[in-house]
Amino acid sequence: MDAQTDRPADTVVVLDFETTGLSPNQGDRAIEIGAVLVEQGKVVARFQELMNPGFRISSFIASYTGITNSMLRNAPPCGEVMDRFADFIGDHALVAHNASFDSRFLDAELQQIGRTRSGAFACSMLVARRLYQTAPNHKLGSLVEFKRIPTDGVFHRALADSEMTAKLWLVMLEELRGEHGIDPVSFPFMQKLSRTAKGAVPRLLERAAR
């Protein structure tokens, strides 16, 4: 199996960051990372840690995430957590809902400690936009409801969001196999699907099923 071309889409690390703001380029930092390791369609490991960014977070972020300054006061610094998280992800392919956001924070935090990632990203939100074009919107919570995926209703905490993203990802893989006859589904195919113009998706799915 070619490690890049044939990498299976059902063996990935699905991750989610909670952060102090929208951009690491503006000095924002991660305050929580949650992730699940999925192997052959099954969650086999989880990672969740709070991390102290070295400054107080705003009341808006505390309200939005449910993470308070008192929770972060005794949390380990970002570098310690990210060093452990880099070991957790290894060379696995990576998935996030709005991956452009999470990949920026992952790369920025890893750069701070002199580490890098080798796994490529795929965005579950962009894939969902291609597969579920009639969905009311493509926010994680809306898609979970749209696809009737069981949930405990907790969102905007990193592990909960990564768990729900993983469930959505596996639902999409199952539909590609069962409804479109694409088996196996490779990780590079999911990346390609996420970049395909919406009008060209039916043709892409048809060709992939041959």
pLDDT in tens, 176-191: 999 999 999 999 999 9
pLDDT average, residue stretch 88-94: 98
Distance, CA of 8 to CA of 61 (rounded, Å): 36
Instruction: Name the domain count of the chain.
Output: 1
Distance of CA 122 to the CA centre of its chain: 8
Higher pLDDT, 6 or 139: 139
Asked if the structure places residue 34 within a domain, the reply is yes
* CATH, residue 199: 3.30.420.10
Domain extent at residue 118: 12-208
pLDDT for position 157: 85
Written as six digits, the tokens of 210 are 């041959």
Asked if the model's pLDDT at residue 2 lies above 90, the reply is: no
Asked if the structure places residue 1 within a domain, the reply is no
Distance, CA of 85 to CA of 97 (rounded, Å): 18
Q: What is the CA radius of gyration of the chain?
A: 17
pLDDT average, residue stretch 132-150: 95
Asked if the structure places residue 183 within a domain, the reply is yes
Asked if the structure places residue 5 within a domain, the reply is no
Please state the pTM of the whole predicted model.
Answer: 0.94
pLDDT in tens, 18-58: 999 999 999 999 999 999 999 999 999 999 999 999 999 99
Asked if the structure places residue 98 within a domain, the reply is yes
Asked if the structure places residue 3 within a domain, the reply is no
pLDDT for position 154: 63
